[in-house]
Structure 1
């Protein structure tokens, strides 16, 4: 049994991931943005799940959650599932929050960052971005950055299996009812990466789609861009990701 954190687990892919892994016997730590939204997690809590509550657009909330998790048993895996599509919270939620949790928590054996095929149209430029959430950011940019963060963790921490997953365009609250991809397949790859003993799942630095490796944006494995991203996030947050 593994202890696994799934951020953004009140609905959509995060909820399906948490439910599937709990049913498989793992100790799941679920996350909700607010106490009100946490009420929907009662069935999981009744099954033994733990819960952390906080709005990932607010850095203080992320720091508080990191502190609480750091005082508990070590996590075996983290799935950075939470994300927003538009508005001023795009960079804080999609990039800064997973960066802070990665930098502040003891690194687990396995970590998965939710990416998107839209990261391929992201821009590998860091100047002039608003990381605080006062101006809207680009979803494509945010997914390029978090996929690059995955690759940086894989490079700097070879003892950690760090991967990114494109779940496809699936019919969740974010994806909308018209989404054309398979909802079931949308959460299976991240579960496989954090729980499987198969050799393919015990690898690092991959960008996955439905358990198949895909080629990410060229900047993802550019170590110079990785370093610039980490330096920018460290400057913005005052917290460094240690090598």
Structure 2
């Protein structure tokens, strides 16, 4: 039985991914900052809850200890992510971007991903078929940069996620480590403006979370296949 941890899994894509993977027979940890919301989601899904704030070293260390106590980890899904908007609710473009805004987005989307991945590497290395799925975005693609989305910090953070995916994959050739693009999905991140449902958006994440030892690594995928960097 495969054991999977999903960060930011009490709602949206993380929750739907957890639901789908549980239905496939996997043991799933719902990682969430809020104990109340995380425990509620885990109870409704039939998952295990682990309190996990990806921006906090102590929280991540405690989550590692909790997962290890239950026996280990096979798959890590780095799903937690944020976008910062103006007080009026508008995305912040390059002309208005400040270092503080970029730092806030990177703290969760990039530094949080590195913090969690680094902390769980010892558990993943004990697995017979370790997998890491980094939830990226089509906005991360440099070949498609500038197509429509006016925000600056979020796409930049996801481009960093893509590069980190490649670097981690090179460093750990025994693991399958990939970035996925869920598509423009209606979630709290975008004020539910996305064109897809969470069921559609979770497809690529669920698929890549279940790849075997002969699956791809160091790649960037959506539900239809590889994407251009």
TM-score when normalising by structure 2: 0.78
Shift of the alpha carbon at 1:121? 5.5
Seen in structure 2, the aligned counterparts of structure 1 residues 214 and 98 have a Cα distance that, compared at 3 Å, is: same
Shift of the alpha carbon at 1:74? 1.9
CA distance in 2, matches of 1:158, 1:211: 24
CA distance in 2, matches of 1:144, 1:211: 20
In the other structure, the counterpart of 1:134 is none
Seen in structure 2, the aligned counterparts of structure 1 residues 32 and 117 have a Cα distance that, compared at 3 Å, is: same
In the other structure, the counterpart of 1:102 is 117
CA distance in 1, matches of 2:3, 2:197: 27
Give the secondary structure class of the aligned counterpart of 2:218. Answer: coil
CA distance in 2, matches of 1:188, 1:208: 11
Q: Deviations over 1:121-174 (max 9, x none)?
A: 69xxxxxxxxxxxxxx92222111111111111111111000000111111111
In the other structure, the counterpart of 2:3 is 3
CA distance in 2, matches of 1:89, 1:55: 14
Seen in structure 2, the aligned counterparts of structure 1 residues 98 and 67 have a Cα distance that, compared at 3 Å, is: farther
**Equivalent residues in 2 for 1:138-177, closer than 5 Å:** 138-177=153-192
In the other structure, the counterpart of 2:221 is 208
Instruction: Specify which of 157, 171, 181 is matched with residue 196 of structure 2.
Output: 181
Give the secondary structure class of the aligned counterpart of 2:9. Answer: coil
For this pair of structures, how many residues does the alignment match?
Answer: 197
Shift of the alpha carbon at 1:197? 4.8
Q: Deviations over 1:211-230 (max 9, x none)?
A: 410111xxxxxxxxxxxxxx
Whether contact under 8 Å (1:12, 1:173) holds in the other structure is yes
Whether contact under 8 Å (1:58, 1:92) holds in the other structure is no
In the other structure, the counterpart of 1:114 is 135
Gaps of 5+ in 1: 123-136, 217-243
Q: Deviations over 1:5-25 (max 9, x none)?
A: 111111100000001111111
In the other structure, the counterpart of 2:62 is 64
Gaps of 5+ in 2: 85-100, 144-151
**Equivalent residues in 2 for 1:44-63, closer than 5 Å:** 44=45, 47=46, 49-63=47-61
CA distance in 1, matches of 2:171, 2:53: 28
Alignment root-mean-square deviation, CA = 2.2
CA distance in 1, matches of 2:116, 2:179: 16
